[in-house]
């Protein structure tokens, strides 16, 4: 090969050569060899991506966090003859603790077992330097938390900005009727009930139980649809999905029967949770992404790369090389 050509090439800071059909770059300074399509992610870049994911989830949670800390909903008035807010107070059938326990338990069990099945059956792999299972679990959990943050933030924005009274508002507020002028729309009144309960009774629109429950259960249902793809799961898959969605609907029904929400609050909550779950799975996750088959290691003699210059690496004479 012509020595002048080689001297021209080696003067570049980076030497690009085609190794085994792939484009690789050897940097003049200390660094790591990275393939242009199959290499592992550099540790520094991976840390930046993780920090960016955490930042995005935190930003999506900001409305929910701020509204909860301020805890000051819009104070609506009422009409004395409004029968929709005269229902008695009842305890929750599905408490906040029970709701959190069921949704978190289902999420942990389904996602951890689903990713374990996919990774150890060689259906799912990652180019990350860390364990394949940990990398796969990180992606799914991160996607779930991002969607949950968006759903809860949208719910709390509506709750605190609209301030719709719950069906049991008058029973919780227990206003001093002697000082209430019922000739029109009542805005000047004093509640004798617990301030915390009165504040909570102004957060009817829309149902947080319904939106969060539907988000979690539809997200998990779509996850099951993507992961349980074997023939053996032909009936198991829809059975699991049926129970997940049934729980979400049951939660919504109890919010109406417990006089905690109007039926329209529950309907909007279910629709919002379903919409956020569908959009998260469609545009954020890679559940239904068609993955190429995992590359298997070949015999060293068969995979030994041949050294040839790329067409883009011609010298200044326009020749690819000479002998």
Task: Please provide residue 27's backbone torsions phi and psi, each rounded to the nearest 5 degrees.
Answer: -85, 150
Task: Please provide residue 199's backbone torsions phi and psi, each rounded to the nearest 5 degrees.
Answer: -60, -45
**Who's near 51: CB < 8 A, 6+ residues apart?**
none
Indicate if 209 belongs to the active site.
yes
The span from the CA of 137 to the CA of 131, in Å, is: 10
The span from the CA of 23 to the CA of 156, in Å, is: 50
The span from the CA of 182 to the CA of 206, in Å, is: 27
Contact 110, 224 (CB under 8 A): yes
Indicate if 261 belongs to the active site.
yes
Strand partners for 160: none
Q: What is the DSSP string of 107-174?
A: HHHHHHHHHHHHHHTTS----SSS-HHHHHHHHHHHHHHHHHHHHHHHHHHHHHHH-PPPTTHHHHH-
Q: Which residues are catalytic?
A: 209, 261
């Amino acid at each position: 090969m012509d020595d002048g050509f080689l001297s021209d090439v080696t003067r570049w800071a980076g030497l690009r050569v085609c190794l085994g059909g792939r484009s690789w770059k050897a940097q003049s300074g200390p660094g790591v060899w990275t393939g242009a399509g199959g290499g592992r992610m550099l540790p520094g870049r991976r840390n930046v991506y993780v920090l960016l994911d955490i930042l995005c989830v935190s930003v999506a949670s900001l409305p929910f966090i701020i509204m909860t800390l301020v805890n000051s909903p819009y104070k609506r008035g009422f009409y004395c003859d409004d029968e929709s807010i005269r229902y008695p107070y009842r305890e929750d059938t599905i408490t906040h603790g029970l709701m959190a326990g069921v949704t978190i338990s289902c999420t942990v069990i389904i996602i951890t077992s689903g990713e374990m099945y996919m990774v150890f059956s060689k259906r799912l792999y990652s180019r990350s330097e860390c364990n394949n299972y940990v990398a796969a679990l990180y992606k799914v959990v991160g996607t779930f938390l991002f969607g949950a943050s968006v759903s809860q933030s949208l719910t709390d924005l509506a709750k605190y900005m609209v301030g719709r009274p719950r069906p049991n508002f008058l029973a919780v507020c227990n206003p001093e009727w002697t000082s209430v002028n019922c000739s029109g729309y009542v805005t000047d009144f004093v509640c004798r009930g617990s301030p915390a309960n009165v504040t909570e009774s102004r957060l009817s629109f829309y149902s947080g139980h319904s939106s969060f429950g539907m988000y979690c259960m539809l997200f998990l249902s779509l996850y099951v649809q993507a992961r349980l793809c074997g023939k053996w799961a032909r009936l198991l898959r829809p059975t699991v999905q049926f129970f997940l969605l049934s729980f979400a609907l049951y939660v919504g029904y109890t919010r109406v029967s417990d006089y905690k929400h109007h039926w329209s609050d529950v309907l909007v909550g279910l629709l919002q949770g379903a919409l956020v779950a569908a959009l998260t799975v469609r545009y954020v996750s890679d559940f239904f992404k068609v993955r190429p088959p995992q590359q298997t290691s070949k015999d060293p003699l068969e995979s030994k790369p041949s050294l040839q210059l790329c067409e883009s690496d011609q010298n200044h004479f326009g020749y690819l090389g000479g002998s």
